[in-house]
């Protein structure tokens, strides 16, 4: 029954707040997987289904891509790098600075994607 509902039921529309939270999760996950240097040299992508992805190499060109941002171009990147290097990759420091970095990523993705700007800022209902 639940599988039928997932397939045929109404889908919940995403919002910008959920995407910002997901961006912070991706940042933390990638930092632990590849380290700070490779993370800062990478790119965050937003696809047509509003999924955030990280690429450590230049991303392939695709019509499924809504927007991308090179992380080293962000203003928050310098502060993020200094704070994380200074404190190490520990949970409290990372939680605070991942949110700040996610806000910068979302700002740039919004500037580059009309589809993202069209999403509601918060969840309704």
Q: How many domains does the chain have?
A: 1
Query: pTM for the full model?
Result: 0.83
Q: Averaged over 37-44, what is the pLDDT?
A: 94
> Is residue 43 domain-resident?
yes
Structural domain contains residue 35: yes
Residue 125 placed within a domain:
no
- In a domain? residue 3: no
pLDDT 10s digits, 10-24: 555 789 999 999 999
- Average pLDDT for residues 49-58, to the nearest whole number? 92
* Any domain includes 4: no
Q: Evaluate the CA torsion angle 105, 106, 111, 115 in order and state its sign.
A: positive
Domain assignment present for 30: yes
Q: How far is 68 from 88, CA to CA, in rounded Å?
A: 27
d(CA 9, CA 118): 23
2 located within any domain: no
What is the tens place of the pLDDT at every residue in 88-110? 777 787 888 899 999 999 999 99
Asked whether residue 8 is domain-assigned, the answer is no
**Domain carrying residue 72:** 13-117
């Amino acid at each position: 029954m639940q599988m039928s509902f997932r397939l045929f039921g109404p889908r919940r529309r995403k919002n910008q707040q959920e995407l910002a939270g997901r961006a912070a999760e991706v940042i933390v996950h990638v930092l632990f997987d590849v380290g700070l240097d490779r993370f800062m040299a990478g790119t965050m992508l937003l696809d047509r289904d509003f999924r955030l992805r990280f690429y450590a190499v230049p991303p392939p060109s695709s019509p499924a891509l809504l927007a991308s941002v090179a992380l080293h171009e962000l203003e928050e990147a310098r502060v993020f790098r200094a704070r994380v290097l200074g404190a190490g990759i520990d949970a409290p420091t990372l939680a605070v600075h991942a949110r700040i970095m996610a806000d910068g990523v979302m700002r740039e993705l919004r500037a580059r994607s009309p589809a993202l700007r069209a999403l509601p800022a918060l969840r309704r209902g």
